[in-house]
A and B are shown apart, each in its own frame.
Chain A
Amino acid sequence: MSAPHPSPRPAARSARFPGPEALRATLPSLSRGVNGFFFTPVALGRVAAMRFLAGVYIWLEWWAYKPFIIQHRFLPEDLYQPLLIGRILPIPAPNYWIVVTTFVVMLAAALPMMFGYRPKLFGWILFVAYFEWMLIYNSYGKVDHANFGFMVLLLALCMMPSKAKWGDRETLSERAGWGFNMVQIAVVCTYFLSTWAKFRYGGFEWANSGVFTWAIIRRGTIFSDWMLDFPWILIAAQWGMICFELLTPIVLFTYKWKRIQYAIIAFFYCFHIAVFAGITISFLPHLFAMACFLPLERVDPKALARKAKAKLKGRKDIPPQRGSHEDAREVESSA
């Protein structure tokens, strides 16, 4: 005979209102999700590589990418229109010496940080100097939006372990995982939120407007000028861009399937190459920040140098590991 049924009322109650048992069952998977998303440990080799790349960008930007920032040292104070943060903080209007000093401090702090000497201390100095450098850049009537991911990167690098070495794949850190996750979110926001900015400033009809036409007229190249005769191509491209940008958050959730994630990031890089070829606009700081998605801990310059040396030496000496007669004959004939 069947066991006596429990009274129906408690069962009905738990079907409508999840009891404590149900919550206790979902909490572990929720906490796994949060830990997996925010705190997947990252090898410190990537921290060393990103510190180096951030320094490379700082040393490149001032002459190869934005040479006009240093030129702001000649602008009279009246042309300085401080942003909110420049009005709230006691930051003086830039003059010749403020611009030059900020520039020198920024470059000087980048060097020890990129080579791993006291990277936290110099990382903070660099972050403050670069922030002021960005105010010197953006306070004269035009605000640039490509630097958000890079600035978050500089901030995140300050909070990562100091003892990070290139090629280190064995020391993992949840702190580094969190820092790079924040940079990755900033990178994705740059795409995703720019679509909503388009809807806000350009309306939902942005994709049907003449914005790419205008951009190519202003700064087109041989790769894009021909498209002016086929405006429908530009409209299709505008729709394509909206779809692409709205889908970008997907890359944040593919962290468990690395090949897929790397493929998506490769696609992002290709998108930027195409944009640069068409209207010579590059989001270089953003591209440097985006590198934190990639397994840079696999790159070990010292090991590569050693291998290269060993290969060169191996041509002169008889290599003991190799047993092949062909190699020995080759070596003897070249000696």
Chain B
Amino acid sequence: MSVDEPQVSKVRPVGKAVRVAITMAVLALVTATTFWGADDFFPFAPFKMYSFSKELDGWTGSTRVEVVNAEGVRFSLTESATGFRRAEVEGQKSRFVEDPPLLCYIAEAYENTNPDKPEIVTVEIIERQFELKDGYQTGEVVEVVEAATTCEGADQ
């Protein structure tokens, strides 16, 4: 196949001005949100992945949801068991701590995902805390129940 002169399709000057303006607007929005915005402004949310400072001395933790079902079995809820991720639990933790009966919605999510399993009776949010000194783990571990509630069973 012979290679002809490349054909270049050009944009008219007005079109160029519009396109440059669009790029500048997107750039301005995403830059502004980095300094003044919040996650709420998605898709123009600040790029705050791993942006928090974690102290090298003190306690650091990881959160999980533990439940007790109608048969008295206690287990941790995994993401695949409810469709509600650990990061989402952490994101909404303040709501659950202020109003623990809201935890029953997590139970409902489990029951929707697993309709043939026994219903959930108790839901707890537990944080497992590790002590750090100079960035090393000291081996000290503490478990704190941050919110707990009992649920009456799924709505009919």
Contacts and interface: CB of A to CB of B under 8 A. Distances in A.
Interface string A32-58: 001100110101000000000000000
Main secondary structure of the interface of B (DSSP, over half): mixed
A170 B6 contact: yes
Contacts of B19: 38-39, 178
A206 interface: yes
A145 B48 CA distance: 7
Contacts of B14: none
Contacts of A326: none
Given A138-B42, A231-B56, A68 B83 contact: yes
Contacts of A138: 39, 42
Contacts of A135: 42
B26 to A, nearest CB: 7
Interface of A: 34-35, 38-39, 41, 43, 67-68, 71-76, 78-79, 81, 83-85, 131, 134-135, 138, 140-143, 145-148, 151-152, 161, 169-175, 178, 181-182, 185-186, 189-190, 193-194, 196-198, 200-203, 205-206, 209-211, 213-215, 217-218, 228-229, 231, 234-235
A179 B25 CA distance: 14
B51 A197 contact: yes
Given A38-B16, A196-B35, A201-B52, A190 B45 contact: no
Contacts of B151: none
Contacts, number: 213
28 contacts: A39-B11, A41-B8, A71-B80, A71-B113, A74-B113, A140-B91, A141-B90, A141-B92, A142-B85, A143-B45, A148-B43, A173-B9, A175-B9, A182-B22, A189-B27, A189-B47, A190-B47, A197-B48, A198-B51, A200-B51, A201-B48, A201-B52, A206-B51, A206-B53, A209-B55, A210-B53, A211-B50, A213-B56
Contact of A74 (B3, B4, B62, B112): B112
Contact of A197 (B34, B43, B105): B34
A131 B43 CA distance: 9
Contacts of A201: 46, 48, 51-53
Interface in B45-92: 45-56, 60, 62, 79-80, 82-85, 87-92
Given A84-B42, A231-B136, A209 B48 contact: no
